[in-house]
Structure 1
């Protein structure tokens, strides 16, 4: 009992320290996640004959090149679509007033008189007219708040530097941690760590690939349908698909409304639903089984609970920490379950 109390005390102390130091530890944890994701690629390059430093530099050059390509090709299109979306706000409200609300009033028991479209349009027009002033105000506030600017610049500089050094010394750090473990518990702890690494690595890398694939499928499909904001909506749906089913729900809702406003018929809304249905079918039958794996993928309920709980307890730091902790807990629960089935308590 005394040993369990000591373990509980140290766990509570560790949790308290993490909660207090969360703002400081966020760039370190973000860098550790990036290094963890990039370590297999660096190991593969190292196996091909490159030194560890050269392999890490190659990974960094690849990442920077991909980001530059993203900035040069996709970001301008996204910016144009965002500007058009904001400018089309009053027209969308006009359509809602003259077409959308009357249709709802005729087909559903909804009191549309509660929605004042003219007031919403006035507020939107006023907000658009003050957009430049809002931006200037935000910039002036940020300039006056030197701590915010300094913190942002420090994190912007720290993340790539920390990622580089963590990625370069990742294998050394893992070996030193293993060497510090008491010899009696080193084999089971190493086995648990290896299984956790398998679960977490497959889930994070696979889910990231699934996000990219779904974003491309949705964006291409909606663009081929002629939807004005197909690229923006498709990439948004792919991004939020990290939370199970969230990408499908958000994407089909936003794209359906956009198609209804643009074409004002149910045919294009049905086609939009078909794009997302194809994406969901490919995700369930091809993408997730091949890229994530059913055996080692975290359950959707566990993912949602972990992300929400981590964000509630520790903010953005908790969101970053949520899935690693969830994977460790899942592995421990699996082993606890196996030991319980083999115990005298279960058999007797």
Structure 2
């Protein structure tokens, strides 16, 4: 057994390029794990830089300089983002306050539904079980209220952090796009001269990350906008709030769609009860999810996702547990990175067996 492990280790790690790649990945994962809070503005800037690289490159190919292209794209993006936020945020805030105001009525209505269950299903559900469940719900709501209060008390600190984001992130995005080639050259200079394996993994991942981030942002916007339009057309309460929730649910593949179904169904149930309107709304919502999974995702991520759904779910759970939100957002690129590294590592010819050119 020991001899086999020694032979395997010698075969896989005798190449300096493999060791360098392994150390780079290890240092990167540890840095994000321990310094994730400090590096958060940098991660946000990297995501937006990948998103805006395509229009900058297009303008550059049309004859504009890289500096002018970057300035035009970043200014246009900031202007559109500001206008959209100025329209969405007041509506989002108003619907959020309305939901909190209506929450006691919804809870009482839900309590009445539950108290009717022992009569509808005698011998299966007892009044005592319903009371225990409602007591548990009340305790969780009280805990949620305390958390929201503590969050509001810490809002000043969050506001300062938000102001830092609003200043640092656009500057980082601008310089990352404007000096992309210079930054790549400086980073490449730090690597050893023998970096064929690193380049192989990097070129594969660079294209996948760019396609993934651009596709994911477009998916959030399209799914959120269509959901909002459908909810508003049906007259569902809090349509913008629920539409934004559905949009951001696509960040968590498979799991997000299942989780976000519950609040939509509850709001519709409290508003209409078990009626035809409730059924039509849930049917329309199911159609949105089906079109997203079977049409939109293959169209947007044809070049970015080549992973089995089981691996995607495991990656979301694993990297989300390690890195929080950014682990969830980058779960698929990180899983693709692991896959590309293992593929390049496994198919690499041992230096001793390489045929000289």
Which range, TM-score by smaller chain? 0.7 to 0.9
Which residue number corresponds to residue 168 of structure 2? 158
Q: Which residue of 2 aligns with 1:44?
A: 58
Cα distance, 1:261 vs structure 2: 0.7
Q: Using a 3 Å threshold, how does the CA distance of structure 1 residues 306 and 169 change in structure 2: closer, same or farther?
A: farther
Partners of 1:231 and 1:212 in 2: how far apart? 12
Show CA shifts across 1:15-68 (max 9, x none): 544444333222222212221221122111222222222212222222222222
2-structure distance, mates of 1:231, 1:119: 31
Unmatched 5+ residue regions in structure 1? none
Q: Is the CA contact (8 Å cut-off) linking 2:114 and 2:130 kept in structure 1?
A: no
Match of 2:276 in 1: 267
Q: Does the Cα contact within 8 Å between 2:220 and 2:248 map onto a contact in 1?
A: yes
Structure 1 residues 112, 211: closer, same or farther in 2, change over 3 A? farther
Q: 1:113 aligns with which of 128, 132, 141?
A: 128
Provide the rounded CA distance (Å) in 2 between the counterparts of 1:16 and 1:124.
35
Q: Cα RMSD over matched residues?
A: 3.7
Does the aligned pair in 2 maintain the 1:222–1:275 contact within 8 Å?
A: no
1:74-153 counterparts in 2 under 5 A? 74-103=88-117, 106-107=120-121, 109-116=124-131, 153=163
Q: Which residue of 1 is the match for residue 301 of structure 2?
A: 292
Q: Report whether the alignment pairs 1:70 with 2:76.
A: no
Using a 3 Å threshold, how does the CA distance of structure 1 residues 156 and 104 change in structure 2: closer, same or farther?
farther
Q: How far 1:236 sits from its partner (Å)?
A: 0.3
- What TM-score comes out, normalization by structure 1 length? 0.79
TM-score (norm 2): 0.77
Q: Distance in 2 between matches of 1:175 and 1:90?
A: 59
Match of 1:278 among 278, 284, 287: 287
> Could you list the per-position Cα deviations for residues 77-102 of structure 1 after superposition, in whole angstroms to 9, with x for gaps in the alignment?
22221111111112112222333441
Across the two proteins, how many residue pairs are aligned to each other? 333
Matches within 5 A, 1:192-207: 192-207=201-216
Q: Provide closer, same or farther for how the CA distance between residues 280 and 123 of structure 1 changes in structure 2, counting only shifts above 3 A.
A: closer
Distance in structure 2 (CA, Å) of the matches to 1:315 and 1:65: 29
| 2:38 counterpart residue number | 24
Within the candidate set 234, 240, 246, 2:255 is matched to 246
CA contact (8 A) 1:27 1:158 kept: yes
Structure 2 SS opposite 1:293:
coil
User: Would the aligned equivalents of 2:252 and 2:328 in 1 still touch at CA under 8 Å?
Assistant: no
1:174 aligned partner? 184
Contact residue 228 and residue 244 of structure 2 kept, 8 A = yes
Residues 243 and 44 of structure 1: CA distance in aligned 2, closer, same or farther (over 3 Å): same
Aligned to 2:314: 305
User: Which residue of structure 1 lines up, in the alignment, with residue 221 of structure 2?
Assistant: 212
Match of 1:332 in 2: 341
Deviation of 1:140 (Å)? 5.7
Q: State the distance in 2 between where 1:315 and 1:21 align.
A: 12
Is contact 2:209-2:304 (8 Å) kept? no
